[in-house]
Amino acid sequence: MLKRIAWAAASLPFMSSLAQAADGIDKLIGDAVSPFVYPIVGTVFYSVPVFGVSFPLIVGWLVIAAVVCTLYFGFIQFRGFRHSIELVRGDYFEPSDAGEVTPFQALATALSGTVGLGNIAGVGVAVYLGGPGATFWMIVAGLLGMATKFTECTLGVHYRNEYEDGTVSGGPMYYLSKGLSESGKATLGKILAIFFAICCVAGSLGGGNMFQANQSYVQISGIIPFFEGKGWLFGLIMAALVGFVIIGGIKSIARVTEKIVPGMAVLYVGSALIIILINFSSVPEAFGAIINGAFAPTAVAGGAIGALIQGFKRAAFSNEAGVGSASIAHSAVQTKNPATEGYVALLEPFIDTVVICTMTSLVIIITGSWVPDSGVTGIALTSKAFEANFSGFGYLLAIAAILFAFSTMISWSYYGLKAWTYMFGEGHIKEMVYKFIFCVFVVIGASMSLGPVIDFSDAMVFAMAVINITGLYFLLPKVKELLADYHEKLASGEIKKTVKAAAV
Amino acid sequence: MTDRYIVGFDGTEQSRRALDYASARAKKSGAHVHLVLVIEWSPYSFHTPEELNERHRRREQELERATTVVQPVADELNKAGVKTTCEVRHGNAAELLCEIATNKNATQIIIGRTGDSVFTQRLLGGLTITLAQVAPIPMTIVP
């Protein structure tokens, strides 16, 4: 193990001197990948004109699914919110299950996969392109997405595979194939599952990898001039760190990140709150701008529809509701009632989008950092907004961004790996191949410019949503059945609060 | 009613001393000894997705390993004439020892001094100090 680290460390300076010789490696990598990216992006983001604005069908697809789930389960995200909190707090946790994965842990792990650069950089992009009004639609999308998340995570637990050695595999691959075969659509289920797995691998390389690497590079090059124009070098370093964890099995790095990330999230939200308090007098104005911008924006391409598209897009990309990724992480939880995990999971879009993303955009709007057509977008915009009150905050944000990015990459590498092994079967060499590819994409992601990266990432993640949601429609009645079963047990007293023993 | 002693046991030297003390007392008084091995675990710790996935298996392994530590000791004591039971639990040691003591109507908790320096104990709140503050029944700390 040590040898491997030493080798990697020694080879870094060598590689850097090698690459310095060839100037503009970033551009080279970017040019090589772009031709493959655009056709895919064009297909996924097929748009139709709505009131003169091109409206990507995929955004409508996600929103319709969220609305359908919300209505089908009778606004479960509002009715069940309290119950969700009780479950996470451990009010229903059986003491005899101590040592198993708790609802809190499943939620925290899934959150560390979704709370990432989408919350910092993605919101910057949304506000830049969609104006303050995008925030409103982002919140709406976040609230609706809670129902989608409920649905997919309930299914993830119900149809998971439990193996003899005690490990579990779950996620859309499993509920699509097993769930649909129950209702006599085995072939369709199999096809959807395989397609989902393919998109999940691609999504893990896109949104779960390249986007993260790219934006943390932008952030680091802003504060350490040395890295400017050397995306590939930063990529190599990141790839080495990711490699240590996923290939070298050095869990300590992941463990350290997992411990710092929640702290960083609290610090981030805390700083945002302080900035909002400092500028408290501008809060009404900011809310005015958000509401106005949502329905009658000026200076935004596409007007209200433009704001809506940006808000919905970023929300979906950030909280991954409907994408299916979170149900992979949630399926490991210890529970006899799949619906409980649905309840726990519906908090995810709430924390991720309604709380954290909204904080970011409020800071951007309140500090007046948003300047249309200024070219300041993504993480640079967020950074500028935070810097307006705390000079030097950029450093903190850079660290937060890189840690968020890192933990998101680790999570997604796992989602991708699960999809990979679903297709190719488990085996050391097969898994290594995927992990190696994953590391290569870190370098590619850091080297490319933001535009193509974000397009590719969005395209892949949303392609997952196309398949996942198709399956969800078929499986909605099953979820209703599971939910009814759970509520029956609650009502009959078969499931009782164990609060005294568990929540100390 | 027979007395029941709860003994915190984890296989370390200190916990063995606590056990020796408890069994000597039990021989005289005819009390039952209940060995408790606590595997430190928090419902709020953070894991990577991979760790979550392996959690169930690891838990089984932890329980198995802990049982091999505590079960032979209990058997030996039973042979020697001290009625002994044992259990392995996941959680916070202080909380669980108190909970078990209450549920089993125990008369005494006996644990070994952990051997941490005074400073560490003050800073991190060692088991002995915590337990001394919250124990629902008399407690003996064996040096």
Given CB atoms, is B40 within the 8 Å cutoff of chain A? Answer: no
The residues with which B113 forms a beta bridge, in sequence order, are none
A502 CB neighbours in chain B (<8 A) are 43
Are the C-beta atoms of residues A378 and A123 closer than 8 Å to each other? no
Residue in A closest to B39 by C-alpha = A99
pLDDT value at position B124?
53
Residue A8 within any structural domain of the chain: no
Residue of B nearest to A163 (CA): B57
- Find, among A2, A468, A44, the residue nearest to A244 by Cα: A2
Q: Please enumerate in sequence order all residues whose Cβ is within 8 A of that of A71, keeping only pairs 6 or more positions apart, or say none.
A: none
User: Along the 504 residues of chain A, how does pLDDT read in single tens digits?
Assistant: 444 444 444 444 444 444 444 446 667 766 776 777 677 777 777 777 776 667 778 888 888 999 999 999 999 989 999 999 999 888 888 888 888 888 888 888 888 888 877 788 889 988 988 888 999 999 999 999 999 999 999 999 999 988 887 778 889 999 999 999 998 889 999 999 999 999 899 889 888 888 888 888 887 887 788 887 788 888 899 999 888 888 877 666 667 766 777 778 888 888 899 999 988 888 898 888 888 888 876 666 667 888 888 888 888 778 888 899 888 888 878 788 899 999 999 999 999 999 999 989 999 999 888 888 788 888 888 888 888 887 877 788 888 888 888 888 888 898 999 999 999 988 889 989 999 999 999 988 888 776 666 677 778 788 899 999 999 999 999 999 999 999 999 998 888 887 654 444
What's the angle, vertex CA A162, arms to CA A76 and CA B59, rounded to 5? Answer: 95
Q: Which residue of chain B is at minimal alpha-carbon distance from A263?
A: B46
Residue A241 CB partners (closer than 8 Å, separation 6+)? A253, A406
In a domain, A342, yes or no: yes
pLDDT the model gives residue A372:
81
**Span B79-99, mean pLDDT?**
89
Q: How far is CA A127 from CA A52, A274, A315, A344, A376, in A?
A: 21, 20, 12, 29, 11
Q: Identify whether A7 is part of a domain.
A: no
CA distance A98 to chain B (A): 5
* Predicted structure pTM score: 0.84
- Top residue of A163, A414, A420, A499 to mutate, by most chain B CBs within 10 Å, is A414
Q: Does residue A1 sit within a domain?
A: no
Q: Count contacts between A and B (CB, < 8 Å).
A: 89
Q: A165 and B57 in contact by Cβ < 8 A?
A: yes
Question: Is A99's CB within 8 Å of B47's CB?
Answer: no
CA distance A413 to A394: 28
The closest alpha carbon to B47, from A57, A466, A411, A208, belongs to: A411
Q: Is residue A11 situated within a structural domain?
A: no
Question: Is residue A206 domain-resident?
Answer: yes
In a domain, A140, yes or no: yes
Partners of residue A255 in chain B, C-beta under 8 Å = 48
Q: Tell me, what's the pLDDT at A10?
A: 45
Backbone angles phi, psi at A90, to 5 degrees: 95, 15
Strands A47-50 and A53-56: antiparallel
Domains and their CATH numbers in chain B: 4-142 (3.40.50.620)
Give the model's pLDDT for residue B115. Answer: 62
The dihedrals phi and psi of A184, each to the nearest 5 degrees, come to 75, 15
Instruction: Determine the structural domain holding residue A193 and report its residue range.
Output: 23-161+169-502
The minimal CB distance from A109 to the residues B43, B46, B56 is found for: B46
Hey, of B50, B88, B102, which one would you mutate to test binding to chain A, going by the most A CBs within 10 A of its CB?
B50
Q: Say if the Cβ atoms of A501 and B99 lie within 8 Å.
A: yes
Q: Is residue A15 situated within a structural domain? A: no
pLDDT of residue A172: 94
Residues of B with CB below 8 A from A168's CB?
Answer: 53, 56
What pLDDT score was predicted for residue A14? 44
Q: Two tokens at A40?
A: 């895919």
Q: Are A251 and A414 in contact (CB under 8 A)?
A: no
Identify the residue among B56, B59, B97, B134 best suited for mutation to test binding to A, counting A beta carbons within 10 A and taking the highest: B56
Question: Which residue shows structure tokens 């003994």?
Answer: B7
Please say whether the dihedral angle defined by the alpha carbons of residues A326, A332, A334 and A339, taken in this order, is positive or negative. Answer: positive
**What's the gap in Å between the CA of A415 and the closest CA on chain B?**
9
Nearest to B55 among A90, A101, A502 (CB): A101
Q: From CA A178, how far away is CA A173, in angstroms rounded?
A: 9
**Which H or E run includes A83?**
helix A81-89
Q: Is B75 on the interface with A (CB under 8 A)?
A: no
Express each pLDDT in B15-61 by its tens digit: 888 899 999 998 888 889 999 998 888 888 777 777 787 888 888 89
CATH number for the domain including A484?
Answer: 1.20.1740.10
Query: Helical H runs in A159-210?
Result: 172-174, 180-182, 186-205
Give the single-character DSSP code of A389.
T
First vs last C-alpha separation in chain B: 29
Measured in degrees and rounded to the nearest 5, phi and psi for residue A169 equal: -130, 130
Name the domain count of chain A.
1
Distance from CA of A73 to the nearest CA of B (A): 28
Could you tell me if A88 and A344 are in contact, meaning their C-beta atoms sit under 8 angstroms apart?
yes
Question: By C-alpha distance, which of A377, A386, A382, A439 is closest to A410?
Answer: A439
B43 phi and psi angles, rounded to 5 deg: -70, -5
Instruction: Flag whether residue B46 sits within 8 Å of chain A, measured between CB atoms.
Output: yes
Neighbouring CB atoms inside 10 A of A243's CB total 18
Q: What is residue A21's predicted lDDT score, i.e. its pLDDT?
A: 40
Minimal Cα–Cα distance from B89 to chain A, Å?
A: 8
pLDDT of residue A97: 83
CB of A144 closer than 8 Å to CB of A67: yes
Q: Which amino acid is present at A87?
A: L
